[in-house]
Structure 1
Amino acid sequence: MMAATAFAGSEDIAAARHLARSFLTDVHKMHHVPVSDRARGVVELVVSELVTNARKYAPGPCLLTLEVVEGAVEVTVWDSEPRLPVAQVADPDRVGQHGLEIVMALCRSIEMHREPVGKRIVTAVALADDPIGDEAGDHVC
Protein backbone atom coordinates (compact mmCIF):
# COMPACT_ATOMS: atom_id res chain seq x y z
CA MET A 1 0.00 0.00 0.00
CA MET A 2 1.30 3.44 -0.92
CA ALA A 3 0.14 7.04 -0.67
CA ALA A 4 1.74 10.01 -2.41
CA THR A 5 0.97 13.68 -2.82
CA ALA A 6 2.71 16.89 -3.85
CA PHE A 7 2.79 20.02 -1.72
CA ALA A 8 3.49 23.57 -2.80
CA GLY A 9 2.74 25.81 0.17
CA SER A 10 3.33 26.04 3.90
CA GLU A 11 -0.37 25.44 4.61
CA ASP A 12 0.15 21.96 3.21
CA ILE A 13 2.19 20.84 6.25
CA ALA A 14 -1.08 20.15 8.10
CA ALA A 15 -2.36 18.32 5.02
CA ALA A 16 0.78 16.15 5.03
CA ARG A 17 0.17 15.20 8.68
CA HIS A 18 -3.45 14.41 7.81
CA LEU A 19 -2.32 12.21 4.91
CA ALA A 20 -0.02 10.30 7.29
CA ARG A 21 -2.85 9.75 9.82
CA SER A 22 -5.24 8.59 7.11
CA PHE A 23 -2.63 6.31 5.57
CA LEU A 24 -1.91 4.57 8.88
CA THR A 25 -5.63 4.21 9.63
CA ASP A 26 -6.12 2.55 6.24
CA VAL A 27 -3.09 0.29 6.75
CA HIS A 28 -4.58 -0.92 10.02
CA LYS A 29 -8.27 -1.15 9.09
CA MET A 30 -8.08 -2.30 5.47
CA HIS A 31 -4.97 -4.46 5.58
CA HIS A 32 -5.11 -5.60 9.23
CA VAL A 33 -1.52 -4.52 9.86
CA PRO A 34 -0.86 -3.64 13.51
CA VAL A 35 0.17 -0.01 13.99
CA SER A 36 1.30 1.04 17.47
CA ASP A 37 0.30 4.37 18.98
CA ARG A 38 3.99 5.23 19.09
CA ALA A 39 4.34 4.56 15.33
CA ARG A 40 1.36 6.81 14.59
CA GLY A 41 2.87 9.68 16.54
CA VAL A 42 6.38 9.19 15.17
CA VAL A 43 5.24 8.98 11.53
CA GLU A 44 3.17 12.13 11.91
CA LEU A 45 6.11 13.97 13.53
CA VAL A 46 8.61 12.77 10.90
CA VAL A 47 6.27 13.80 8.08
CA SER A 48 5.79 17.19 9.70
CA GLU A 49 9.53 17.79 10.17
CA LEU A 50 10.56 16.66 6.68
CA VAL A 51 7.81 18.51 4.83
CA THR A 52 8.42 21.64 6.95
CA ASN A 53 12.12 21.56 6.03
CA ALA A 54 11.32 21.01 2.35
CA ARG A 55 8.91 23.95 2.34
CA LYS A 56 11.35 26.14 4.27
CA TYR A 57 14.58 25.42 2.36
CA ALA A 58 13.60 24.28 -1.16
CA PRO A 59 12.49 26.76 -3.82
CA GLY A 60 9.85 24.54 -5.42
CA PRO A 61 7.25 21.92 -4.57
CA CYS A 62 7.88 18.77 -2.57
CA LEU A 63 6.55 15.25 -2.90
CA LEU A 64 5.62 13.02 0.05
CA THR A 65 5.35 9.25 -0.33
CA LEU A 66 4.30 6.78 2.39
CA GLU A 67 4.72 3.06 1.90
CA VAL A 68 4.70 -0.03 4.13
CA VAL A 69 7.88 -2.06 3.66
CA GLU A 70 8.99 -4.95 5.88
CA GLY A 71 7.10 -3.95 9.03
CA ALA A 72 7.86 -0.25 8.72
CA VAL A 73 6.44 2.87 7.13
CA GLU A 74 8.86 4.41 4.67
CA VAL A 75 8.40 8.17 4.65
CA THR A 76 10.00 9.68 1.55
CA VAL A 77 10.18 13.40 0.86
CA TRP A 78 11.60 14.77 -2.38
CA ASP A 79 12.26 18.47 -2.88
CA SER A 80 14.05 20.65 -5.43
CA GLU A 81 16.98 21.75 -3.19
CA PRO A 82 20.09 19.68 -4.03
CA ARG A 83 21.97 20.38 -0.77
CA LEU A 84 21.67 17.54 1.72
CA PRO A 85 20.75 18.58 5.26
CA VAL A 86 23.30 18.24 8.03
CA ALA A 87 22.34 17.66 11.64
CA GLN A 88 23.79 20.29 13.91
CA VAL A 89 25.73 19.49 17.05
CA ALA A 90 23.36 19.08 19.99
CA ASP A 91 22.91 22.40 21.78
CA PRO A 92 20.20 22.65 24.46
CA ASP A 93 20.37 26.46 24.24
CA ARG A 94 19.65 26.57 20.49
CA VAL A 95 16.10 27.54 19.63
CA GLY A 96 14.85 25.72 16.54
CA GLN A 97 16.68 23.74 13.87
CA HIS A 98 16.33 20.45 15.75
CA GLY A 99 14.16 18.74 13.12
CA LEU A 100 16.81 16.52 11.57
CA GLU A 101 18.11 15.56 15.02
CA ILE A 102 14.57 14.51 16.00
CA VAL A 103 14.04 12.51 12.80
CA MET A 104 17.39 10.73 13.18
CA ALA A 105 16.63 9.84 16.81
CA LEU A 106 13.17 8.42 16.09
CA CYS A 107 13.59 6.53 12.84
CA ARG A 108 14.85 3.01 12.29
CA SER A 109 16.80 4.32 9.30
CA ILE A 110 17.38 7.48 7.31
CA GLU A 111 18.94 7.85 3.87
CA MET A 112 19.63 11.01 1.89
CA HIS A 113 20.20 10.99 -1.87
CA ARG A 114 20.89 13.72 -4.38
CA GLU A 115 18.66 13.37 -7.41
CA PRO A 116 19.06 14.79 -10.95
CA VAL A 117 16.83 17.56 -9.62
CA GLY A 118 16.93 18.14 -5.85
CA LYS A 119 17.19 15.47 -3.19
CA ARG A 120 15.24 12.61 -1.67
CA ILE A 121 15.15 11.73 2.03
CA VAL A 122 13.89 8.27 2.97
CA THR A 123 13.18 7.26 6.57
CA ALA A 124 11.71 4.12 8.07
CA VAL A 125 9.54 3.99 11.18
CA ALA A 126 8.73 0.60 12.72
CA LEU A 127 4.98 -0.08 12.85
CA ALA A 128 5.17 -2.16 16.02
CA ASP A 129 7.03 -1.43 19.22
CA ASP A 130 10.07 -3.63 19.81
CA PRO A 131 9.23 -6.09 22.63
CA ILE A 132 12.66 -5.60 24.23
CA GLY A 133 12.14 -1.87 24.48
CA ASP A 134 14.42 -0.50 21.77
CA GLU A 135 11.55 1.07 19.84
CA ALA A 136 13.64 2.88 17.24
CA GLY A 137 15.85 -0.12 16.44
CA ASP A 138 19.25 0.16 14.80
CA HIS A 139 20.03 3.53 13.28
CA VAL A 140 21.43 3.58 9.75
CA CYS A 141 22.58 6.75 8.00
Structure 2
Amino acid sequence: MDRAGQDRGQQFLVERCPSVSAAFEGSEGEEIGLARDLARGFLTEVQAVHGLPVSVDVMGTVLLVVSEMVTNARKYAPGPCLLTLEVNEGAVEVTVWDSAPTLPMARAGDPGRVGQHGLEIIMAVCRSVEMHREPVGKRIKAAISLSDDQLGDAARPL
Protein backbone atom coordinates (compact mmCIF):
# COMPACT_ATOMS: atom_id res chain seq x y z
CA MET A 1 0.00 0.00 0.00
CA ASP A 2 1.33 3.41 -0.96
CA ARG A 3 0.72 5.61 2.09
CA ALA A 4 1.85 8.73 0.27
CA GLY A 5 -0.73 7.96 -2.43
CA GLN A 6 -3.53 7.89 0.17
CA ASP A 7 -3.13 11.57 0.87
CA ARG A 8 -3.36 12.77 -2.72
CA GLY A 9 -5.81 15.58 -3.14
CA GLN A 10 -5.90 16.36 0.58
CA GLN A 11 -4.52 19.64 1.81
CA PHE A 12 -3.22 20.05 5.30
CA LEU A 13 -3.32 23.64 6.41
CA VAL A 14 -1.24 24.69 9.36
CA GLU A 15 -1.91 28.21 10.49
CA ARG A 16 1.27 29.80 11.71
CA CYS A 17 1.29 32.40 14.43
CA PRO A 18 2.48 35.78 13.19
CA SER A 19 5.99 36.53 14.46
CA VAL A 20 9.01 38.71 13.85
CA SER A 21 12.57 38.68 15.24
CA ALA A 22 15.53 41.03 15.23
CA ALA A 23 19.00 41.08 16.75
CA PHE A 24 20.36 44.24 18.37
CA GLU A 25 24.01 45.06 18.94
CA GLY A 26 25.13 48.65 19.02
CA SER A 27 24.11 51.92 20.61
CA GLU A 28 21.64 51.28 23.46
CA GLY A 29 19.58 54.42 22.84
CA GLU A 30 19.21 53.81 19.12
CA GLU A 31 18.33 50.15 19.60
CA ILE A 32 15.47 50.86 21.99
CA GLY A 33 13.87 53.05 19.33
CA LEU A 34 14.44 50.40 16.66
CA ALA A 35 12.94 47.71 18.90
CA ARG A 36 9.87 49.87 19.54
CA ASP A 37 9.53 50.56 15.80
CA LEU A 38 9.71 46.83 15.10
CA ALA A 39 6.98 46.14 17.68
CA ARG A 40 4.76 48.96 16.38
CA GLY A 41 5.12 47.73 12.79
CA PHE A 42 4.48 44.13 13.82
CA LEU A 43 1.28 44.99 15.72
CA THR A 44 0.07 47.20 12.88
CA GLU A 45 0.55 44.27 10.50
CA VAL A 46 -1.12 41.85 12.91
CA GLN A 47 -4.18 44.09 12.84
CA ALA A 48 -4.17 44.96 9.10
CA VAL A 49 -3.15 41.60 7.62
CA HIS A 50 -4.37 39.07 10.19
CA GLY A 51 -7.44 40.97 11.39
CA LEU A 52 -6.58 40.70 15.07
CA PRO A 53 -7.68 43.70 17.15
CA VAL A 54 -4.88 45.72 18.72
CA SER A 55 -6.11 48.59 20.88
CA VAL A 56 -4.15 51.71 21.75
CA ASP A 57 -3.74 50.35 25.32
CA VAL A 58 -2.37 47.01 24.08
CA MET A 59 -0.02 48.80 21.66
CA GLY A 60 1.27 51.04 24.45
CA THR A 61 1.74 48.12 26.84
CA VAL A 62 3.69 46.09 24.27
CA LEU A 63 5.91 49.07 23.46
CA LEU A 64 6.59 49.62 27.17
CA VAL A 65 7.49 45.96 27.73
CA VAL A 66 9.73 45.88 24.64
CA SER A 67 11.50 49.04 25.84
CA GLU A 68 12.09 47.68 29.34
CA MET A 69 13.25 44.25 28.20
CA VAL A 70 15.61 45.43 25.45
CA THR A 71 16.98 48.20 27.70
CA ASN A 72 17.82 45.66 30.41
CA ALA A 73 19.39 43.23 27.94
CA ARG A 74 21.59 45.92 26.41
CA LYS A 75 22.49 47.45 29.76
CA TYR A 76 23.36 44.33 31.75
CA ALA A 77 24.53 41.74 29.17
CA PRO A 78 27.56 41.92 26.91
CA GLY A 79 27.09 41.34 23.20
CA PRO A 80 23.91 41.17 21.17
CA CYS A 81 20.35 40.51 22.24
CA LEU A 82 17.54 38.93 20.25
CA LEU A 83 13.95 40.19 20.34
CA THR A 84 11.07 38.03 19.13
CA LEU A 85 7.42 39.09 18.98
CA GLU A 86 4.75 36.47 18.38
CA VAL A 87 0.98 36.30 18.63
CA ASN A 88 -0.05 33.12 20.41
CA GLU A 89 -3.24 32.13 22.25
CA GLY A 90 -4.74 35.63 22.40
CA ALA A 91 -1.54 37.32 23.54
CA VAL A 92 1.52 39.06 22.18
CA GLU A 93 4.58 37.24 23.46
CA VAL A 94 7.68 39.40 23.80
CA THR A 95 10.81 37.26 24.15
CA VAL A 96 14.31 38.62 24.68
CA TRP A 97 17.47 36.52 24.73
CA ASP A 98 20.77 37.93 25.96
CA SER A 99 24.18 36.52 26.83
CA ALA A 100 24.13 37.06 30.63
CA PRO A 101 23.19 33.90 32.57
CA THR A 102 21.94 35.71 35.69
CA LEU A 103 18.15 35.82 35.94
CA PRO A 104 16.72 39.18 37.04
CA MET A 105 14.92 39.53 40.35
CA ALA A 106 12.24 42.06 41.25
CA ARG A 107 13.44 44.28 44.05
CA ALA A 108 11.44 45.25 47.11
CA GLY A 109 9.42 48.42 46.67
CA ASP A 110 11.33 51.57 47.49
CA PRO A 111 9.72 54.89 46.59
CA GLY A 112 13.11 56.61 46.97
CA ARG A 113 14.84 54.35 44.43
CA VAL A 114 15.39 55.96 41.05
CA GLY A 115 15.42 53.42 38.21
CA GLN A 116 15.68 49.63 38.29
CA HIS A 117 11.88 49.19 38.26
CA GLY A 118 11.75 47.46 34.85
CA LEU A 119 10.94 43.95 36.04
CA GLU A 120 8.34 45.28 38.49
CA ILE A 121 6.65 47.13 35.62
CA ILE A 122 6.76 44.11 33.32
CA MET A 123 5.28 41.84 36.00
CA ALA A 124 2.50 44.37 36.70
CA VAL A 125 1.32 44.77 33.09
CA CYS A 126 1.78 41.26 31.66
CA ARG A 127 -0.43 38.23 32.07
CA SER A 128 2.66 36.04 32.48
CA VAL A 129 6.44 36.30 32.68
CA GLU A 130 8.83 33.36 32.25
CA MET A 131 12.60 33.33 32.72
CA HIS A 132 14.90 30.52 31.66
CA ARG A 133 18.65 30.02 31.62
CA GLU A 134 19.90 28.86 28.23
CA PRO A 135 23.15 27.07 27.34
CA VAL A 136 24.41 30.58 26.65
CA GLY A 137 22.68 33.40 28.52
CA LYS A 138 18.99 33.60 29.35
CA ARG A 139 15.61 33.99 27.71
CA ILE A 140 12.78 36.05 29.18
CA LYS A 141 9.25 35.85 27.77
CA ALA A 142 6.39 38.15 28.73
CA ALA A 143 2.83 37.73 27.43
CA ILE A 144 0.50 40.71 27.00
CA SER A 145 -3.16 39.93 26.40
CA LEU A 146 -4.66 41.25 23.16
CA SER A 147 -7.87 41.86 25.10
CA ASP A 148 -8.03 45.21 26.93
CA ASP A 149 -10.08 43.70 29.74
CA GLN A 150 -7.23 41.29 30.54
CA LEU A 151 -4.46 43.89 30.74
CA GLY A 152 -2.83 44.29 34.12
CA ASP A 153 -4.14 47.15 36.28
CA ALA A 154 -0.87 49.03 35.92
CA ALA A 155 -1.43 49.20 32.14
CA ARG A 156 -4.68 51.16 32.49
CA PRO A 157 -4.75 54.91 32.87
CA LEU A 158 -6.09 56.22 36.17
Q: TM class, shorter-chain normalised?
A: over 0.9
Instruction: Output the TM-score relative to the length of structure 2.
Output: 0.83
* Cα-Cα RMSD: 1.0
The structure that has the greater radius of gyration is 2
Q: CA deviation at 1:23?
A: 0.4
Q: CA deviation at 1:36?
A: 1.5
Q: Deviations over 1:18-65 (max 9, x none)?
A: 000000000000010011211100000000000000000001100000
- Tell me the amino acid that sits aligned with residue 113 of structure 2: R
CA distance in 1, matches of 2:80, 2:55: 31
In the alignment, structure 2 segments of 5+ residues that lack a partner are 1-17, 154-158
In the alignment, structure 1 segments of 5+ residues that lack a partner are none
Paired residue secondary structure (2:63): helix
Overall identity of the aligned pairs, in %: 66
CA distance in 2, matches of 1:135, 1:14: 23
- Moved >2 Å (runs of 4+): 134-137
1:101-116 alignment to 2 at 5 Å?
Answer: 101-116=120-135
Q: Which structure has more helix as a fraction of its residues? A: 2
CA distance in 2, matches of 1:92, 1:26: 39
Paired residue secondary structure (1:85): coil
Corresponding residue to 2:51 among 20, 23, 32: 32
